[in-house]
Amino acid sequence: MFPYLLRKLLLAIPAIWLLGTLVFLLSRLLPGSFAEERLLNQEGGFYSKGSQSSREEALRQYQERTGQNLPVFYFGLTSPNKNTDQAQHISLFPQLSWHGADNQYHRWLKGVFTGDLGTSYRTGLPVLDMIWKSIGNTFWLLLASMLVTLILAMELSILMARERLRWLRSLVLPILFFIDSIPMLVLSLLLLVLLANPDFLQLFPVYGMGYYVPGQLSFWQELGQRLQYMALPHLALVLVNLPYITNQVYSSLQAALQAAYTRTARAKGLPERLVIRRHALRNALLPLITIVSDFLPALVSGSILVETIFAIPGIGRLLVESVLARDYPVLVAIVLVVLVVRMVAYTLADIAYALADPRLKPKLA
């Protein structure tokens, strides 16, 4: 299996590099910049009362300090210029200019290979430090949501697949269909109104990740504080993803229960509970693995909205803030993190395929 993982890694590196390069170049094509908005703004800010020349000089110094005065790529295309000669002829072709290695992309790519993703334009802090501080909240939010969703989906599917609990299907499936029709934004706001409202039920805090305490909290105190602030975001992600996952698991389980090996297990006199869990569920896991491999990256994108609504200092909220502030180093770094998560999810899915179906192990050798 190790040679297979090595091949996957060698294929993933060019893909991540290509997508990261595309995001880097597209981010530089966006109009405006963080420095122009802050330094040249006459309506407010530190330089609002300065003269136009002083603001432009501050902008020039800031761009030189951050490397934004350099060309974006190794070469550039300039628009056709009008040559003011006697014939006054106009060039119809763009001019190609070579900038060499002294450009923004070369510095960024060199930093990626050396573990330096740059400095934030907005805060002046290293990008890796900002991501490291934010990724912990997102990691626990996504991990707990994914585990709870998968466990609930499997248990509900197993219960609905049992013959003597057929009435449960007519109760659970319409409820899941109704929840699936509610957008995440509306569902999150409903949870806030119903469970964090002093006029209704104020069971959980509204937003944030806790209050300031003068001193160190013990592990259990910190865990209890995080749980009460993470409850509503967890519940929102679980409710949004539970209907789809449950429907897919239940459909796969129903197909497995109609297979010949399941009928053979029933003919041997095995209880229905063992037939479902030992025989049908193992074969129903193969489609579930495919769903989970797409489920983890989808949770990352779903956390953007949840973290913004509940004001959780995670990767999703950091991404929104970096987009609004045109903080390109942070934006590109977060996209790279999402790409790596997707590649890791697909690799883990291949390993899970081999564990669920031994016939696939020779293909991973």
Name the token pair of 127.
Answer: 């990008």
CA 178-230-291 angle, to 5 degrees, is 50
Digits of tens for pLDDT over the chain (365 positions)?
667 667 777 777 888 888 888 988 888 877 777 777 776 665 555 555 667 777 777 778 888 888 888 888 888 777 665 544 444 555 566 677 788 888 889 888 888 888 888 888 888 889 988 888 888 888 888 888 888 998 999 899 888 888 777 788 888 889 999 998 988 889 988 988 888 888 788 788 777 766 555 457 676 777 777 788 888 888 998 998 899 888 888 888 888 888 888 888 888 888 878 888 877 877 777 777 777 776 666 666 667 788 888 888 888 888 888 888 888 899 888 888 888 877 877 777 777 777 766 666 665 55
Type of residue found at 346? Y
Q: What is the CB-side half-sphere exposure of residue 26 using CA atoms within 13 A?
A: 10
Confidence at residue 87, expressed as pLDDT on a 0 to 100 scale: 46
Cβ burial 236-254 (10 Å sphere, 16+ → b, else e):
bbbbbbbbbbbbbbbebbe
Length of the chain: 365
Report which of 100, 80, 102 is spatially closest to residue 91, judged by C-alpha positions: 80
Say if residue 279 is exposed, middle or buried (CB neighbours under 10 Å; 0-12, 13-18, 19+).
Answer: buried
Ordered by where they begin, the domains of the chain are 127-364 (1.10.3720.10)
Rounded CA separation 148/152 (Å): 6
All residues at 6 or more sequence positions from 100 whose CB lies less than 8 Å from its CB, including other chains = 74
* Collapsed DSSP state (helix, strand, coil) of residue 119: strand
Q: What is the CB-side half-sphere exposure of residue 236 using CA atoms within 13 A?
A: 29
Confidence at residue 86, expressed as pLDDT on a 0 to 100 scale: 47
Report which of 127, 130, 109, 107 is spatially closest to residue 118, judged by C-alpha positions: 127
DSSP symbols for 56-101: HHHHHHHHHHHTTTS-SSSEEEE---B--SSS--B--SPEEEE-TT
**pTM passes above 0.85:** no
Name the token pair of 235.
Answer: 């519940």
* Collapsed DSSP state (helix, strand, coil) of residue 290: helix
